Structure 1
Amino acid sequence: MFALIFFGALVVATLTGAIAVDLIGIIQPAAAATVILAGFVWRPAPGLLAFAVFVLLYDTTAFYVGDDVKRVDELVIPALLIFGAVRLQPWRTRRLHSVRDGSLVALVVLGVISSLANEVPVSIWIPALALLLKPIVILYVASWLPMRTATFVSAARVILAIGVATAVLGIVEAFDQRAFQQALGLPEWVRPRGSLPSVKSLFAHPAIFAWFMAFLGLYCLVAYVELRHRWLLALGALFGVATFLTARRRAIGAAAVALLATFAWSTRRIGRLPTEFRRWVPVLFTTLVIAVVFVPGLLGLYDRTIERYLPPESPPTSGEQPIPEQVDDEGAQTSPARVALYTGSFRIARDHFPLGAGVGRYGSHMSRIEYSPIYHEYGLDRIRGLRERNPRYITDTFWPMILGEFGVGGLAAYGLLLVSICLAIWRAGRSAADATTHAFMAGTLAVLVEALIESLATPMFTSPPRSYLLFAAIGSALALTHSRTPTRPPVAPPGPLGSDGHHRS
């Protein structure tokens, strides 16, 4: 069903892109959106998965069928919210959560009040608020789905198949990047980092490929601890190697921290440490071996990190503007911009306490499209990458945007939203009725921790290629918390499981 919806959307996008060259640009994304929405109405879970994967790859698809296809989410997400609410009726199944829903309402209300108080034009703050809320809509729609173990296992097979294909292609690319990219007609990116090639496989940028590999690697390694299937360990190793080949510091470091955090979560009590350590030995050993193999590359990344945070006194002055997809988001020149965005957000939060500067005024996509006067007011327009004529680093962070635009209250509301999600998944994981569900919950916590770490230096929670799949996975975990009754016994200690991974009776 997923394949029918996904490839159907891809085919109609390609055909309409070829036919409607001179027509309105909305025809192509509208055709793809129609297929996805029809699939969602027919089969909600495969339809939502098809959308998440379609968007994950739409930067690449755009190189073949045109940029208009990247507007598909603008059409699909509002319709998903409406169709999802009508078809799934979450209020009837009690899938509402006072803390989570209340924090989201508070965030929206504070954003509206802040925008009105600061006289932000409606044409700016409404689109900016919509961009922030789009991934959250995916989370809610996914959380409304009638979720069973078989549902997310089927979705996992699809995502793993795509992951294996892209990982293998990434490893092939490492041998000759230029030839690989030219053969597939992809944008050229040949920027080795030390001894690491910085591959991107089928994606438009190594950062997206790195996140996808880390995302899948965490799920596989955590699932291996619970299910003891060796193929999961092998896939985790494959995705780990691919992550290292991207040479993205954030993805590598965030995944390592997330893995350790999941190990700590599985231990919980000091008395369980020896038992849990034995269960985790294969995962920790595999991770260590991969790290040792890539030690030369890691040393090169360490040198780049030092270079980044201790940049030379005379930065390059070349006036050449790089193509957006060729911008190195972990280059040394991005650090001053990110640091300035953080310090600026604190100053704005202080000066505009408690509401912030208004939605669409700081660190967001709309503040770059309609260059915000806040950057002039706080002297940020003098910093490379934040200047009006070249503002490409304005959207390189997430939390400064929340603090600067929504104020302290908005920051607290978004933080509470994430905390409530973490707690719900954590509690559901502890009381999971079978090992497969427990593995999915633990893996979801791991990828959420990884995303939180990456969000310190990327717009992780608003970046469409990544945020939709991330929030769809988190929403699916929340859906499972509703599908399981709280009176079920907790998952048993490690032991023999059936071939299907279900708890032994």
Structure 2
Amino acid sequence: MNLRKPTLYGVVGGPLSEPGGRVVRKGLRRAKPVIRSGALVTVAFFNLYLAVHYIRLALAQEYGTSPLDKITCLILLPLAFLFLQDRRSWLPVLTMLGYGAVLMLGAFVFPNRGVSQPISAIVTIALDSKLAIMTFAFAWLFKRTGSAMQVFESLFILIIILCLINIPFIFYDLSTGVSVKGDPLAMKGVFVQPQGLFLHQNQVAWLYAFGAFAAATRYQLRKRTLDLMLCALFVMFVCLVVSIKEIVGCFVGLLIIFRTSRSGFGSLGVGLAVLAGVAAFVLNYTELGTAILGHVGMFYGSNAIDTVRAAMMDASFRIAADHFPLGTGGGTFGSVGSILFGYSQLYYDYGIYLLWGGSPEMPKFLEDAGWAKLIAEGGALGVSFYLLFLMSCGVYIVHRDPNATSADEALRRLCLAFLLLILAISIASSPFTDELLEFVAALALGYGMSKSLRAGGARNGVKSAVPPQ
């Protein structure tokens, strides 16, 4: 290789020893403190968001909306616009704009009595845009500061600490049957569902699933037995909550994280088959399986009871068919606008108002069916746009770069595990507008979009300045 030959590696127009290299070296030295400060601020931001969220949950005595994610999106909005210069943002932006246009158009084409329009549709579009804003902003931060590894490593430590802090309170729940906040705990079969420091058992399952992923990824990076032991401990607490969505998402995510770098789809199929076999044994021969099947039987089968989630999912397909292809528009079904700006007529038309948790007097479960909301409000066209948005962002963590470093590959697998867990949770929740889950989803998608898919290796979306040998 001729070292005197001018080449283009990043911002350098040739070897630094050539004439003019002194000026370049000075510029790089001046830029280092700026980059270092940006990385530190980025790391601090991610940790602060997560810490504030969990402190708020620990101090809360009842459910209530939080402005944390809305304020964060307003702060990050300029960074999201900066990422629009990257061509990888074009398809996600177009699909999200198409989704918003469908929600607004549907609200005008099919006016819904009981809901104030267009304010309800505008609010719904704004809330549904939070995921896109966070994703683009996080991608810009990772790409600009090169701080992805530092961010994830610091979040690993914070999540593990939060998991360890919560353990004594879980044992208190199990021993007394009452949470530390004085609320009676739910039962699933013979199992008490602990809440720890939080208000709902699912929040415990989410934290420990994230903790299991963090410990597993640390083990992949460092091969320390302590991390493997922590992973096993946190998985036990996920199972203790007896929530099938989180259990399935956790085990599938761990299977992805622990796969060897050279394993193909065959090994993944074998792993899934083993998990299916273990699940079949647990469901048929253990008390845990009896509790899970009993809970599933409440929603499906001959003994199913009428619940808001099941009824809304069934109604959403009928609404999409009745208002094909636009749906009923934003803020009309399963969204904040359908409650905040009046009680939607759709709840009367499709019998939701008769169910506990779906009535005008107590509409506490109307926002728990995320996919039902997307299908009903967006119709066939709107939900297609939204799915295309998720796929156009998520393709970058599904794709495996053969030239990526082992650390980059470990983070890619972690992000894929996060996304699959959130998709599992979305069966009976609205994760893409939830304060915590939308943050984690944006973290995963943003990391993927900050990476380069070009040959030659990539790290946080910046092509290496060292040429391949």
TM-score range, shorter chain: 0.7 to 0.9
Residues 156, 231 of structure 1: CA spacing in aligned structure 2 closer, same or farther, 3 A cutoff?
farther
Give the match for residue 469 of structure 1.
440
- Kindly report which structure 2 residues correspond to 1:319-330, keeping only aligned pairs within 5 A, or say none: none
Give the match for residue 238 of structure 1.
233
- Kindly report which structure 2 residues correspond to 1:58-97, keeping only aligned pairs within 5 A, or say none: 58-63=56-61, 70-82=66-78, 84-85=79-80, 89-92=82-85, 94=86, 96-97=88-89
Residues 152, 489 of structure 1: CA spacing in aligned structure 2 closer, same or farther, 3 A cutoff?
closer
Cα distance, 1:416 vs structure 2: 0.9
Give the match for residue 117 of structure 1.
109
Whether the aligned pair in 1 keeps the contact of 2:106 and 2:330 (CA below 8 Å) is yes
Residues 129, 180 of structure 1: CA spacing in aligned structure 2 closer, same or farther, 3 A cutoff?
farther
- Kindly report which structure 2 residues correspond to 1:277-288, keeping only aligned pairs within 5 A, or say none: none
Cα distance, 1:444 vs structure 2: 0.9
State, as a whole percentage, how many aligned pairs show the same letter: 21
CA distance in 2, matches of 1:269, 1:178: 42
Aligned partner (choices 446, 450, 454) of residue 421 of structure 2:
450
Cα distance, 1:302 vs structure 2: 2.6
Cα distance, 1:300 vs structure 2: 2.4
Greater shift, 294-303 or 115-124, is seen at 294-303
CA distance in 1, matches of 2:263, 2:232: 26
Whether the aligned pair in 1 keeps the contact of 2:80 and 2:133 (CA below 8 Å) is no
Aligned partner (choices 277, 301, 304) of residue 295 of structure 2:
304
SS in 2 for 1:387: coil
Give the match for residue 486 of structure 1.
454
Paired residue total: 414
Cα distance, 1:118 vs structure 2: 2.8
CA distance in 2, matches of 1:162, 1:466: 16
Cα distance, 1:423 vs structure 2: 1.5
Whether the aligned pair in 2 keeps the contact of 1:217 and 1:235 (CA below 8 Å) is yes
SS in 1 for 2:83: coil
Give the match for residue 199 of structure 1.
194
Whether the aligned pair in 2 keeps the contact of 1:226 and 1:438 (CA below 8 Å) is no
Aligned partner (choices 312, 317, 326) of residue 346 of structure 1:
317
Question: Between Structure 1 and Structure 2, which shows a larger proportion of helix residues?
Answer: 1
- Kindly report which structure 2 residues correspond to 1:148-227, keeping only aligned pairs within 5 A, or say none: 151-177=147-173, 186=181, 188-221=183-216, 224=219
CA distance in 1, matches of 2:38, 2:328: 38
CA distance in 2, matches of 1:205, 1:40: 36
Give the match for residue 44 of structure 2.
46
Cα distance, 1:353 vs structure 2: 1.2
SS in 1 for 2:147: helix
Whether the aligned pair in 2 keeps the contact of 1:360 and 1:405 (CA below 8 Å) is yes
CA distance in 1, matches of 2:344, 2:385: 24
- Kindly report which structure 2 residues correspond to 1:260-299, keeping only aligned pairs within 5 A, or say none: 260=255, 269=264, 273=267, 295-299=286-290
Give the match for residue 368 of structure 2.
396
- Kindly report which structure 2 residues correspond to 1:431-446, keeping only aligned pairs within 5 A, or say none: 431-446=402-417
Normalised by the size of structure 2, how large is the TM-score? 0.76
Q: In the alignment, residue 158 of structure 1 is paired with which amino acid?
A: S
Cα distance, 1:128 vs structure 2: 1.7
Cα distance, 1:180 vs structure 2: 8.6
Cα distance, 1:81 vs structure 2: 0.7
Structure 1: gaps spanning 5 or more residues: 1-38, 313-331, 492-504
Give the match for residue 101 of structure 1.
93
Superposed CA deviations along residues 167-198 of structure 1, whole A, max 9, x for unmatched, are 3344323432288999x963534234345332
CA distance in 1, matches of 2:361, 2:286: 40
Give the match for residue 249 of structure 1.
244
Whether the aligned pair in 1 keeps the contact of 2:353 and 2:359 (CA below 8 Å) is yes
Aligned partner (choices 120, 136, 144) of residue 140 of structure 2:
144
Greater shift, 147-156 or 108-117, is seen at 147-156
Whether the aligned pair in 2 keeps the contact of 1:431 and 1:490 (CA below 8 Å) is no
Residues 218, 391 of structure 1: CA spacing in aligned structure 2 closer, same or farther, 3 A cutoff?
same
- Kindly report which structure 2 residues correspond to 1:348-363, keeping only aligned pairs within 5 A, or say none: 348-363=319-334
Superposed CA deviations along residues 210-246 of structure 1, whole A, max 9, x for unmatched, are 1122133234435645764433322221220121222
Residues 195, 363 of structure 1: CA spacing in aligned structure 2 closer, same or farther, 3 A cutoff?
same
Give the match for residue 26 of structure 1.
none
Q: In the alignment, residue 455 of structure 2 is paired with which amino acid?
A: T
Residues 360, 415 of structure 1: CA spacing in aligned structure 2 closer, same or farther, 3 A cutoff?
same
Q: In the alignment, residue 410 of structure 2 is paired with which amino acid?
A: A
Q: In the alignment, residue 52 of structure 2 is paired with which amino acid?
A: F
Q: Which has the larger radius of gyration?
A: 2
Q: Give the CA RMSD over aligned residues.
A: 3.8
Cα distance, 1:365 vs structure 2: 2.1
Normalised by the size of structure 1, how large is the TM-score? 0.71
CA distance in 1, matches of 2:64, 2:367: 20
| Residue 385 (structure 2) pairs with residue 385 (structure 1) | no
Whether the aligned pair in 2 keeps the contact of 1:353 and 1:408 (CA below 8 Å) is yes
Give the match for residue 424 of structure 1.
396
SS in 2 for 1:242: helix
Cα distance, 1:107 vs structure 2: 1.0
Residues 163, 242 of structure 1: CA spacing in aligned structure 2 closer, same or farther, 3 A cutoff?
farther
Superposed CA deviations along residues 368-408 of structure 1, whole A, max 9, x for unmatched, are 33210111122322233222222222112111101111111
Residues 418, 262 of structure 1: CA spacing in aligned structure 2 closer, same or farther, 3 A cutoff?
farther
Cα distance, 1:362 vs structure 2: 0.6
Cα distance, 1:127 vs structure 2: 1.5
Whether the aligned pair in 1 keeps the contact of 2:239 and 2:247 (CA below 8 Å) is yes
Q: In the alignment, residue 58 of structure 1 is paired with which amino acid?
A: R
Residues 108, 448 of structure 1: CA spacing in aligned structure 2 closer, same or farther, 3 A cutoff?
same
Residues 43, 197 of structure 1: CA spacing in aligned structure 2 closer, same or farther, 3 A cutoff?
same
Residues 231, 150 of structure 1: CA spacing in aligned structure 2 closer, same or farther, 3 A cutoff?
farther
